[in-house]
Amino acid sequence: MQTPTITAEGHQLPTALEPRNPGMALDLDWVRTAQANTSAIERRAKTLPGRRSVKKDYQAAWLCKAISLIDLTTLSGDDSEGRVARLCAKAKQPVRADILDALGMQGLTTGAVCVYHDMIDTAVSSLKGTGIPVAAVSTGFPAGLSPYHLRIAEIGESVKAGAEEIDIVITRRHVLQGNWQALYDEMKEMREACGDAHVKAILATGELGTLRNVARASLVCMMAGADFIKTSTGKESVNATLPVSLVMIRAIRDYYDRTGFRVGYKPAGGISKAKDSLVYLSLIKDELGDRWLQPDLFRFGASSLLGDIERQLEHHVTGQYSANHRHAMA
């Protein structure tokens, strides 16, 4: 599956798919030497919103890029087939046609649609023929504390149902207890259960205690073969933050420098404003480079973000802001 590759200047380019991260043997020396200077990281994060400023046509192009990187998500207990079908329609046509025509951005879609297992059939049917993949949360999401054999079985059932991407949750206590071998073994078995489906490892960073733990957990999951590392389930009290993102993407850069394999990054939870998406995109561009600004290596886990981006794009085209209800998600 390939969605349009849009540069910051608004040009569309082809993107070659990356070879999957095969993982490697657990290197405990590397893991234990990983550190995080919390005060320095927080100082750097505070400067990020003011370091980059894009306006007018350039901002519109960056916002279209952000749309192509969204995992449009619904993970509510009251999800229904109708809601998911409408969300998939939004994924196929994320911005009103008249706005896209004015921007010259035909063919723009979101990066994926993310749902619970029960909604996979509806999402796959609704997206048939579009090339938009379905992602499913799995392994006892969001706590990840159901019996282990059931977590592995759940992955298999979601892949069988048609999910092309599986968002798994790690066992947080392995990180908090420094049991890196257990985390590695768990992640490796979950990756194997995914087969050809790409696996995103959710670290639930708000529950890991320290940025050092985030750095080490990131490395272990990549060593075990994770295709993406993801900040949060969206259900924790603290979800994606800039300091956590800085730690995780530097771990990704370190892993790439040592192995030659690119691993994707997905911040999730709490990113709801268009201006926030611009900060994250500039951070990725600065720290990892343009190659990571493509759907196979970067995603936003979000739902309300798309609505705010659409409002900003309408303002760019018409000079007026519209009410939120004109940009419904589902």
> What is the total count of domains within the chain?
1
Q: What is the dihedral of CA 154, 159, 161, 163, to 10 degrees?
A: 110
Residue 12: its pLDDT value, please? 43
Quick check: is 39 in a domain?
Answer: yes
Both tokens of 65, joined, read 């890029």
Catalytic member of 65, 71, 230, 308:
230
Q: Which residues of the chain have pLDDT under 50?
A: 1-4, 7-14
Domain enclosing residue 153, as ranges? 20-327
pTM of the full predicted structure? 0.92
Tell me the per-residue pLDDT of 12-32, one tens digit each, with 9 for 90 and over: 444 567 899 999 999 999 999
Quick check: is 15 in a domain?
Answer: no
Check if 230 is active-site: yes
Residue 67: its pLDDT value, please? 97
Check if 188 is active-site: no
What CATH number has the domain bearing residue 244?
Answer: 3.20.20.70
Residue 18: its pLDDT value, please? 82
Residue 266: its pLDDT value, please? 98
Catalytic member of 65, 71, 90, 167:
167
Quick check: is 7 in a domain?
Answer: no
Quick check: is 9 in a domain?
Answer: no
Quick check: is 2 in a domain?
Answer: no
Residue 14: its pLDDT value, please? 44
Check if 65 is active-site: no
- The sign of the CA dihedral 119, 125, 126, 127 is positive
Residue 328: its pLDDT value, please? 66
Quick check: is 13 in a domain?
Answer: no
Residue 168: its pLDDT value, please? 98
**Angle between helices 242-259 and 38-51 in degrees, nearest 10:** 100
